[in-house]
Structures are given as C-alpha cells and as structure tokens.
Amino acid sequence: MHRITGKAGGDSLIEMSPTESFNDDMNGYHQQAPSSTGSFQQEQSVIDKQQHSKDSVFFRDGVRRIDFVLSYVDDKDCEKKQERRKVYEANLVKVGLELETEDKSESEDENTYFVKIHAPWEVLATYADVLKIKVPFKVNDIPENKEMPMNWLSTPFRLPEHIMKPEPDYFTAPFNKSKSDFFLINDKETFFPPSTRNRIVYYILSRCSYIKEECGDKDKKGIKRLLNNGTYTSAFPLHDCRYWTRSKDANCESERYNLYKHWARFLCFFKEQPLNLIRKYYGEKIGIYFAWLGFYTEMLLFAAIVGTICFIYGLLTYDDNEWSKEICNEQIGGKIVMCPLCDKKCGYWKLNSTCNSSWQSHLFDNVGTVFFAIFMGIWVTLFLEFWKRRQARLEYEWDLVDFEEEQQQLQLRPEYETKCTNRKMNRITQEMEPYLPITSKCARICLSGATVLFWISLIIACIIGVIAYRLAVYAAFASIMKDSLTNNLEVVGPYITPQLATSVTASCINFVIIMILNLMYERVAIWITDMEIPKTHLEYENKLTVKMFLFQFVNYYSSCFYVAFFKGKFVGYPGNYAYMFGKWSKLRNEECDPGGCLIELTTQLVIVMTGKQVWGNIQEALVPWLMNWWGSRRARSHPETLYSRWEQDHDLQSFGQLGLFYEYLEMVIQFGFITLFVASFPLAPLLALINNIIEVRVDAWKLTTQFRRAVAAKAHSIGAWEEILSGVAILSVVTNAFIVAFTSDMIPRLVYMYAYHPKGEMNMKGYIKDSLSLFNISEFQPANRPDDEENPSWFNSSIDTCSYRDYRYPPGHVKQYTHTMQFWHILAAKLAFIIIMEHVVFSVKFFVAWMIPDVPSDVKARIKRERYLVQEYLHNYEVEKLKIQLSQNGSDECTCTPAIYPSLTKHEVLSECL
C-alpha cells in the first residue's frame, strides 16, 4: 500500500471554540486562521466563524470537502480511549488525510466532538490506483438504440433526463496514477464523485492502526473495532443537503434533494426509478438492490394479473360447484353425521355445518389452480433469466465487468488480514498474501455446520411444541365454546369455532417464538460467520446470507409446510387414531378443517404473509422516524443555533453494513411465499405487488430522509441471493405439485368423475358420499368416545354410524376399515400427476433458460469495444509519450516515429492533455 505524507499540524488535534452565537438567518460562522496546535486536552484556538450554510460540506476554509466524519464523546476518565484516538488520528495524517475537529462546545449537546476528514488529490489518486477504480477516458461514441415504437405511451412514467442520466456516458478504464494525464480530468476536486471519495476514505479508515508501531499488535486497527470498543461513537459520510430543499451552497450538488423529490415520495410510485442517480449517490451496491427490487415488482405485475384471472374464474364457477351444493343440501349434507374431531370433548356434527367453508374453498381449489401453478413455475424462470440480462446490462453501464476478480484480489477484509498470520505466494500476483491453513478452515467449517444444524433443530423443536399446543388445547376450546355466547351472534357467530380459536392463539405463540428466535440466531449467524474468517466482504456476505436464509426459511415456512403436507395426513381412523407422541400423550393428530386442508393453508399463508409485510413496512418507516425525531429534539428547541450538516446527519440512524441484507432477506422470504405455496392462494402475487410498490418508496424514503448516508460500496450482482432464488424456484415446482396432489381435492374429484361415477356421466353428483367412509359408533374405544354432555341435542341412540374423510371399507365388510381399491387408484393418480407436472414444468423451464442468453448481444459488443479501445488508446498514449521524451532529450534530427511503432492518429483526449 502506498503511503503519502499529507498536511499535519502536529500529533494533537486542533480544537475550536465558539466566540459568539448566531441566528438561523445567518446560518454560518466567521473564521480566522487557527492558532498553532496546542495540547490535546487543554489548549483551544479562538476563532471567528465564516458565513456557511447549514448544508456546508466543506472545512472551515470553504475549499476542502468533508469526505468523512468521526464523532466521539470525550471520556476524561478513560485515558486508553484518548490515547487510541490520538494515535489513530496521527496515523491517518501520516497516510495523507487532513483532519479538522469541531469542539464539543459547538455541538448541540455540548458533549460531542466531530472530526472532519478530507482526502486530498494525492491520497485519492493513490488509492484509486490501488483499488483499480474505473474512471472515464473517452466519451462513449456508440449510438443509442433507436426508440421503440409507441414509446410516447411511457411518457407519464418517465423522469427528467438530467435525473435519469446525471452524467454523460463514458468509456472507462482502471485508474493509473502514473498515467493520470490519460484520463478525462477537468477538475481534480470534482473528478472523483463524493461516493467514490467516501469509499476510498473508509478503505483507509478500516485499515489504519490505532496503536503505536512499536507495540507490534497488528490486530489493533480499523474503525470498526474503535466503534465497537466505544473510542468513537459514529463514523459516516455526509449527505450533501437537507432532503426537502436545495443547498444554499453553490458548490454542493443537492443530489439528496433530487432523490427525495423524484424517487422517495410515495406520489412518485408510478414513476421509473432514477437508478443512475441512486448509484452515483449511494454506490453500486445500493443501486443494484433497487434495480432488482424494481424489476421484481415489474415482473410481479404479470403474475398478479394471471392470479387475479384464476381467482375470478373461481368466482364465476361458484354456482357450478356440485360438491358444495351437496354439502349444503339438507337432504344430503344435513343427514350425514360426522365422527368427532377430538377425544372426549368433541361431539358428533353434521356435514352441512361446513357449508360456508366449502364454498370458500372452491375459490382457490379449482381447475384454475393447476394452470396457475404451472404458470408460476414458468414465470419464475422468466423472472430469473430476464434479471440476469438486466444485471449484465447494469454491470456494463456501471463499470462492474470483471469486478469480482478485483474484489477477490484487492479488497481483503481487514479482519482476514489481521487474523491470518500465515503467508503464502499468490501464483497470479506473485506477492505474499495472508491465508488460512486448511486444517483450521476445516475445523471452523465443521463447527459452523454443527451450530447451524443445532439452531435449525431448535427451531423445528419450537414448531413441534406449537403443534403440540394446538393438539392439547383444541379439545379444551371445543368444550368451552360449545355453550359460548358468541354462538348467538348472527354474523360472526358461525365463524368463531374451536378451530379458529386454536389457530389464532397458536399463530400468536408462533409469532412470539419467531421474533425471539430472530433476535437470537441473528447474533449466532454473525458470530459463526466471523469465526469462519471469510477472505473478502463478498464472501462474508454470501456465507452470512446462506445461514440467515436457512434460519428464516425454517422459521417462516415451517407452519405452512406443516399445514400443507402433514396436517390431516396421518390421523388414522375412528377406533384407531394416530397420536403425536404415542397414545400415552393423548395428543391426537390434528384433522383438517371440515372445508378441506387447502383453505387452511390459504388462511395460514394470508395471515403470515400480509401480517409480516404490513408490520415490516410500519416498523421500517415508523421506528427510524420516531428515533430521529427524539434525537433532534435539542435542535428543535434551539432554532437560533447553527445545526450543522454533520450534526444533522449524526442525529440520523446508522445504515449498517447489513442494512441491505435485511431488505434482501425480507423480499426473498416474500418470494418464497408467492412461489412455494402459490397453488393455494392465486392472489398472493397481487398482495406482493401492492406491498412492493409501497416497499420501493418506503425504502427510498427511509434511506434518503431517516438514515445517514451509507458508505458507497461496489457489487456486481445481488450475490448469494441469486442462487437462493434459483433454489426456491426449483423447490416451488415440487411443493406446488404436491399441494395440488395431496392438499387439494382436485385429483380425487377427477378420479371420481372419470372412473367411479356410478352412471358413467361426466359430473360430480354423488362425490361427497363417495369420499366419506362409515364407522360403527359402538366400536369406539372408551378413550375416543365423546362424553354424553358434549353431543348435540339431535343426536340419539338410533344413529349407529358416523362418517369420516377417507376411502375405507365399511363396518361388516370382510376387509372392514382397510383402504379400498379407490384409495390406491387415487394415490397412483396423485403420484402420476406430480411426475407429469414436474417433468413438464422443468422441461419448459430449462428450454426457456437455454433460449434466453444471460448477456444481451449489444452488451457483449460494447464490452468488447471498450476493451479494444482501452488497449488502443493506451498504446497510442505510450507512443506519444515516448515521442515527447525523445524530443525533450534533444533528438531534433529524429522526427519520425520509431520503427517499432506504427503511425497512429492521436486521439483528442491525449492531444489536449499533452
């Protein structure tokens, strides 16, 4: 790493003190040259304040830009922290950074110091070279694609051109300090945008030591450790203005105001996102997230339209629902006596009591469900393939091509550099670099894997506990609610059932468990990822992403998987019921709702999905606003004082390193809901679409108004999330096939209609009786027989059989209570349907993926042209430089180009620079 000597006033900080108070109209200060540096603790320089606006992002001289700010509260009782700060800031000055400190008496709380950091050109140029940051060397001369026909239709959704494209399009190349005249440098102060400047400064801050070199402890370095041990309270780059108004300083860009006006307001929900401005202000990592979120929301529109059509189909075929008519018919469903749903405390009941739930089930359990499940399998593939193309285009436009290799080689995590004491030769760079021995790496991976398995097992154990609770309290609710006053309510009375009470209370308990486990395993995931010592930031985030998603997957989807694939599948039959932990536990396995298992899965999905989304948006928007409102209360009570740019940002919330991680996690969990279980709820994409339209603006508003400016970071893709989305897409085909086959009643109905209708007609008459089996009441075990007081008033001794959902031979048959041949035919049809659906969908998926190239052809051509131009222009540059050197050495007689170089035309950039 190159070391640069910058301006240094000494080993201690320059402390300033105010000389007068100022009103809000002045918004500034008067300055005189600071006195010589005094003692770190005692001496202060008396200054006058120069007029500056509240949005000034410059040093007191009004020239040097503030690239980063550190804050701390001086704890006079802790000399160790003071010493760390003194050494750390001295080391920052040694590498060329310039510091200026605001005394605590000038802050609103009169307790906080602010250290402002400026990176001069020499530092920026050196580290831009080290980090291989791409900068422009020629204006892009490739003509834009012709406008699409009917392009005027998109005019209402467009933003102004200067917002969508805040800077011209250039060909770029990695910066080389020794060839700085090769690049388009008009002004050194503005050549590197603020986002690049704060990225470079943070790179230095994260690698600078805070102990003296003679101590020899290489692990004691980096701003992250200083923040963790309380030496500094915060570290952040500055916003360029207040979000609701432009900066009064002509040298400030006011890009934050433009983002708020054209992007972060909810009234802009129908407008396109200014992705180039987002990238310029916040960096590529945040820009790629909003690009992905916007693209995902656009694709959801098509899924939402088809899902709504399928739901409307269910409404339009409402009256053709023959089996529901039979259930509601007094002569059919009203005369079918059903067996008790639990032991002792549940009585006999009539099938027509499930009339409402049967009609509701038809809205989602119809032929359209199968079509939609197949459609979503193909939609997922189109979404992922088109996103790859969109991502490839962004990679080129944002200079991210080949970035991953740079990330691996040049941007090692400081923690990796300090904890890996072993060194080995890199075969590519031929330089010594730190590495983790294979034995240590294997041991850490094994311990990490065991920890992940343990916590996943803990989550599953909690889910099993909730299921046991459902089984235990169902009978209690059935007994308590039998004579409840709610039964007399005309509208809601029929819906307040023991099943509903059990589900609601179990869902509340499950929600509390989810929240508690979230807090616990979030810390565990970070701890075990730190223990693995990933090499790069990209590797760190990918490892953490996989662990957190595994935890969240089990946490959020377990209840849905239970309802879809386990509830009602292993209940046995009257006289031989199955129990969760054996008969001694008396926890009889749960049966499906009388309306069917699919309607329960739909209910579960709606509650979990919508509840999570609504609560998430409220929490994301309300909590930061309340915390910022409380934090800035001093400034509101003293409007006459200067509330400087760094103090305004200091009072905002910190956008941590994992800020985007949680945003991705929220969206990917939602993606799982709308793909894994979409066969049970075709309106799920519509709910997700509405949520995401709000989510884009909430995230934008939160990032622009409630959070400090995030440190710019590069990312060429959405990282490990892309692989996770692909895995969920493949799993969704399997889960939807199983839902249609085993959770829905679609296959049994089709088998009945085509093979078992008594008259050979193609209709569903008689299906209800055919789908029920009979049991002799006298054969009930004493432990299963309902108590006399639990039976309804219409039940009498003349009723000798009850019905239950299954395909078994009736009492008195030679094979009584064993499965009939129809059961095996239906099972074979279900398995055949799963195999056929999976093969059809997977074949279409792979064909579509093969047909759509990941990188558009025009992007490939642009990448090749840019690489060609870089080589050509660098070659020309070297030729011209050699000619100038020869002419300066007095070789006047040699006016021709050396024979080893062909005669090449100068390009305009080189001629201007030379």
What integer pLDDT is reported at residue 238 of this predicted model? 93
Q: Are 230 and 223 in contact (CB under 8 A)?
A: no
Helix (H), strand (E) at residue 736? helix 720-738
Tokens of 110: 């009169």
Is residue 730 very low, low, confident or very high in pLDDT (cuts 50, 70, 90)?
Answer: very high
User: Which of 802-827 are b and which e, b meaning 16 or more Cβ less than 10 Å from the residue's Cβ?
Assistant: bbbbbbbbebeeeeebebbebbebbb
pLDDT number for residue 496: 62
**What pLDDT, on a 0 to 100 scale, did the predictor assign at position 796?**
85
Instruction: Note whether 368 and 682 are within 8 A (CB).
Output: yes
Tokens standing for 356?
Answer: 């409402």
* Structure confidence at residue 1 as a pLDDT band (50, 70, 90): very low
Q: How confident is the model at residue 822 (pLDDT cuts 50, 70, 90)?
A: very high
Averaged over 704-729, what is the pLDDT?
Answer: 90
Please enumerate in sequence order all residues whose Cβ is within 8 A of that of 624, keeping only pairs 6 or more positions apart, or say none: 653, 702, 706, 707
Instruction: Tell which residue, 829, 781, 333, has the closest CA to residue 594.
Output: 333
**With contact defined as beta carbons under 8 Å apart, do 724 and 546 qualify?**
yes
Structure confidence at residue 215 (pLDDT):
55
Instruction: Band the pLDDT of 570: cuts 50, 70, 90.
Output: confident
**CA distance to 45, 55, 650, per residue, from 102 (Å):** 11, 16, 13
Q: Model's pTM, two decimal places?
A: 0.84
pLDDT at position 295 is: 96
Top mean-pLDDT range of 107-121, 281-295, 345-359, 583-597: 281-295
pLDDT of 828:
95
Mean residue pLDDT across the chain: 80
* Selected residue with higher pLDDT from 909 and 546: 546
Q: What is the mean pLDDT of residues 260-281?
A: 92
Among 330-339, 440-449, 492-501, whose mean pLDDT is lowest?
Answer: 492-501
Residue 94 is predicted with a pLDDT of: 93
| SS3 call for 56 | coil
Count the neighbouring beta carbons within 10 Å of the beta carbon of residue 307.
Answer: 27
Lowest mean pLDDT among 400-409, 515-524, 712-721, 806-815: 400-409
635 pLDDT higher than 90: no
Q: What is the dihedral of CA 480, 483, 486, 491, to 10 degrees?
A: 130
The answer to whether residues 756 and 822 touch, using CB atoms and an 8 Å cutoff, is: yes
Cα–Cα distance, 784 to 341 (Å, whole number)? 10
Give pairs for 839-848: CB < 8 Å, separation 24+. Answer: 840/374, 841/374, 841/377, 841/378, 841/733, 841/737, 842/733, 844/377, 844/378, 844/381, 845/377, 845/378, 845/380, 845/381, 845/729, 845/733, 848/378, 848/381, 848/382, 848/385
* pLDDT > 80? residue 665: yes
- 3-state SS assignment for residue 653: strand
Read off the pLDDT band of 53 (50, 70, 90).
Answer: low
Which residue bears the tokens 């209570």?
A: 817
Give the pLDDT score at 818: 92
How far is Cα 630 from Cα 638, in angstroms, rounded to an integer?
14
Say what the pLDDT of residue 327 is. Answer: 87
Above 70 in pLDDT, residue 489? no
Percent of the chain residues past pLDDT 90, beyond the cut:
26
Q: What is the sign, positive or negative, of the torsion defined by CA atoms of 710, 714, 720, 726?
A: positive
Higher pLDDT, 61 or 758: 61
Q: Which residues contact 860 (CB under 8 A, 6 or more apart)?
A: none
- What pLDDT was estimated at residue 781? 85
Per DSSP, the three-state class of 411 is coil
Which residue type is seen at 116?
K
pLDDT at 655: 86
- Average pLDDT in the 646-675 region? 88
Most confident residue range from 492-496, 774-778, 870-874:
774-778
Out of 51-60, 104-113, 316-325, 727-736, which region has the weakest mean confidence (pLDDT)? 51-60
- The two structure tokens encoding residue 294: 């916007």
Q: Show the tokens assigned to 510.
A: 């499950």
Dist CA 483 CA 271 (whole Å): 56
Least confident of 11-20, 551-560, 783-792: 11-20
- Specify the range with the lowest mean pLDDT, choosing from 59-73, 156-170, 878-892: 878-892
Top-confidence residue, 896 or 544: 544
The DSSP output letter for 26 is T
CA-CA distances (angstroms) from residue 478 to 371, 596, 760, 791?
Answer: 38, 19, 42, 11
Please state the separation of Cα 455 from the chain's center in Å: 22
- 463 pLDDT band, cuts 50/70/90, is confident
The answer to whether the CB of 94 falls within 8 A of the CB of 3 is yes
**Which residues face 805 on adjacent strands?**
772
Complete DSSP assignment for 342-380: SSSS---EEGGGGHHHHHHHHTTSSHHHHHHHHHHHHHH
pLDDT band for 228, please (50, 70, 90 cuts). Answer: confident
Mind spelling out the 3-state secondary structure of 194-261?
HHHHHHHHHHHHCCCECCCHHHCCCCCECHHHHHHCCCCCEEECCCCCCCCCCCCCCCCCCHHHHHHH
- How far apart are the C-alpha atoms of 312 and 246, rounded to whole Å? 49
pLDDT category at 896 given cuts 50, 70, 90 is: very low
Cβ atoms of 825 and 790 within 8 Å: the answer is no
- Of 79-93, 299-313, 564-578, minimum mean pLDDT range: 564-578
> Exposed, middle or buried: residue 657 (CB in 10 Å: 0-12, 13-18, 19+)?
middle
Q: Name the pairing type of β-strands 16-17 and 45-46.
A: parallel
Residue 398, both tokens: 């944002």
Q: Higher model confidence: residue 459 or residue 113?
A: 113
pLDDT band of residue 744 (cuts 50, 70, 90) is: confident
Whether 16 has a pLDDT exceeding 60, the answer reads no
Considering the chain, what percentage of its residues have pLDDT values greater than 70? 84
The pLDDT score that the predictor gives to residue 152 is 63
**pLDDT over threshold 60, residue 24:** no
CA distances from residue 845 to 305, 372, 795, 840 in whole angstroms, order as listed: 21, 15, 55, 9
- Which residues are CB-contacts of 266 (< 8 A; sequence separation ≥ 6)? 694, 697, 701
Pairwise CA distance, residues 471 & 580, whole Å: 9
Structure confidence at residue 291 as a pLDDT band (50, 70, 90):
very high
pLDDT above 90: residue 401: no
Instruction: Report the C-alpha gap between 294 and 290 in whole angstroms.
Output: 6
Q: Which of 185-194, 782-791, 871-880, 902-911 shows the highest mean pLDDT?
A: 185-194
Contact criterion met (CB below 8 Å) for 428 and 409: yes
Q: Radius of gyration (Cα) for the chain, nearest Å?
A: 35
In this structure, what token pair is assigned to residue 576? 């031989």
pLDDT higher than threshold 60 for residue 351: yes
Of 126-130, 192-196, 253-257, 635-639, where does mean pLDDT reach its minimum? Answer: 635-639
In this structure, the chain runs to a length of 914
The residue extents of the domains of the chain are 68-146+171-238, 860-888
